[in-house]
Amino acid sequence: MKSTFKILTLISTLCFVSLSTSFSSFAVSEQKVEEVEPEKGPNRGRMLKKDNFAIELSIFERGVPPEFRVWATMDGKVIDPAKVELNVKLTRLGDGVDDINFFQEGQYLRGDMVIYEPHSFIVSLTAKYQGKNYSWQYDNFEGRTSIDEKIAEAMEITTDVVGPSTFHQSIEVFGKLTLPADATSNVYARFDGLVKKVHVKLGDAIKKGQLLLTLESNESLQSYQVTSAKNGIVSAVNVTSGEQSKGRILLAVTNDETLVAELAVFPLDLAKVNIGAKTTLNINGVEEQYTSKIDSRVLKVRNDQAKLFRVLVNNSDSLLSEGSFVSAKIEIGSFDVDMAVKRNALQSFRDFTVVYAKVGNEYEVRMLELGRIVGDEIEVLGGISVGTEYVTENSYILKADVEKSGASHDH
């Protein structure tokens, strides 16, 4: 009964979230339908008019980085741009304000600052002509959406912060676990004679000093005991009670508290691998990852020309077995970068690779200039600031929402 109640509660919650999201989407869609396309001027810029004075504000980017260019008219007639004072302020989401002044260039005014992507901001324009002041303000958003915090949590949208990172370069290699050369101790009788009793059996885990055998010397007819010289597992039993020892190996004890991963490195990568290099191992059938260092190498190459590098692996909990297959990453270098983001955060937007910055309940694209890739991180050379919170998981939800809104910007 309780299980049924929980299921019904979960379904109700999901339906509420779905309906809320649908309603939000519907409201946005309705809003978009009601929006009027801004009037464009002869230079494809946005027209801003007050009384008989008009400004055409255009983002110009043909052959130059994006910049503002402005044409002014009075009563439909072109004004000498030298007689117009102009300022534009762009208020960006979480990135402060761009303060742009203008200077005359030919028949237009040219902004003194590059308008970097995204072209998403609140535009505030002030102009002065013949002693009269004019002002306009409007939204020019792109690549931006808003999601309530609770809905973002339900959608498992998670974030991280842009910051410096240390990249570790590695090569992937393969091998298997073996025993160290000194892992197995053979047990002999100190004095040949009758084996009166074998106190252990094959596979027993034993401690150093534990009783293994009781024998009777053929010469003295005195009984004596043989104990283990180490911790380990009884890996061979070659005698039974009542037999003569005859100088042979009676038992073998193997200590597997340390195993050796023998990793094959082929000629192309040999020069990159050094003794002491950090190594991360994944062992077949074991969920836990193991970290260690290259301890030594085998002098002779194999028939396939691979050289074996040896890594000591702690097996004090006896979870690992000799012969298990191993995949490993050997670190061959590391370097620091000023900024990095997670690779799974990347999305496409127009012709750019972006991440979604988060400011409160609002999310907006940041066009990235990318550098080197190592593992699950990628170096960022520009387009975002250190300390910016950005979406790492489920950013595709934001991409879909932005594409659905169809928001465009002035050019």
pLDDT at 404: 84
pTM, to two decimals = 0.69
Q: Which structural domains are found in the chain, ordered by start? A: 46-140 (2.60.40.3340), 145-166+336-405 (2.40.420.20), 170-179+257-334 (2.40.30.170), 184-254 (2.40.50.100)
Contacts of 183 (CB under 8 A, 6+ apart): 232, 254, 255, 256, 258
Find out whether 396 and 347 touch, Cβ atoms under 8 Å.
Answer: yes
Strands 84-91 and 77-78: unpaired
Distance separating alpha carbons of residues 140 and 121, to the nearest angstrom: 5
Q: Give the pair of three-digit tokens for residue 197.
A: 């009793």
Helices (H), 351-395: none
DSSP state of 40: B
Contacts of 63 (CB under 8 A, 6+ apart): none
DSSP state of 35: P
* Alpha carbon of residue 226 to chain centroid: 56
pLDDT at 6: 39
pLDDT at 375: 86
3-state secondary structure of 385: coil
Neighbouring C-beta atoms of residue 359, cutoff 10 Å: 14
What is the C-alpha R_g of the chain?
A: 37
Kindly give the confidence (pLDDT) of every residue in the chain, 411 residues in length, as a single tens digit, with 9 standing for 90 and above.
444 433 344 334 444 444 344 434 433 333 444 557 889 999 999 999 999 999 999 999 999 999 999 999 999 999 999 999 999 999 999 989 999 999 999 999 999 999 999 999 999 999 999 999 999 999 999 999 999 999 999 999 999 999 999 999 999 999 999 999 999 999 999 999 999 999 999 999 999 999 999 999 999 999 999 999 999 999 999 999 999 999 999 999 999 999 999 999 999 999 999 999 999 999 999 999 999 999 999 999 999 999 999 999 999 988 999 999 999 999 999 999 999 999 999 999 999 999 999 999 999 999 999 999 998 999 999 999 999 999 999 999 999 999 887 655 565
* Bridge partner list, 378: 341, 373
Distance separating alpha carbons of residues 211 and 200, to the nearest angstrom: 8
Q: DSSP string spanning 210-254?
A: -EEEEEEETTT--EEEEE-SSSEEEEEE---TT-B-TTS--EEEE
Q: Give the pair of three-digit tokens for residue 30.
A: 């309705």
Distance separating alpha carbons of residues 239 and 225, to the nearest angstrom: 15
Residues in the chain: 411
Residue 346: closest CA among 399, 389, 300, 302: 399
Distance separating alpha carbons of residues 290 and 265, to the nearest angstrom: 19
Distance separating alpha carbons of residues 136 and 125, to the nearest angstrom: 5
Preceding amide of 118 cis, omega within 30: yes
pLDDT at 328: 97
Start-to-end CA distance of the chain, whole Å, equals: 61
CA atoms in the 13 A half-sphere facing the CB of 163: 7
Neighbouring C-beta atoms of residue 381, cutoff 10 Å: 12
Distance separating alpha carbons of residues 319 and 257, to the nearest angstrom: 10
Q: Which residue has the tokens 């019904």?
A: 8
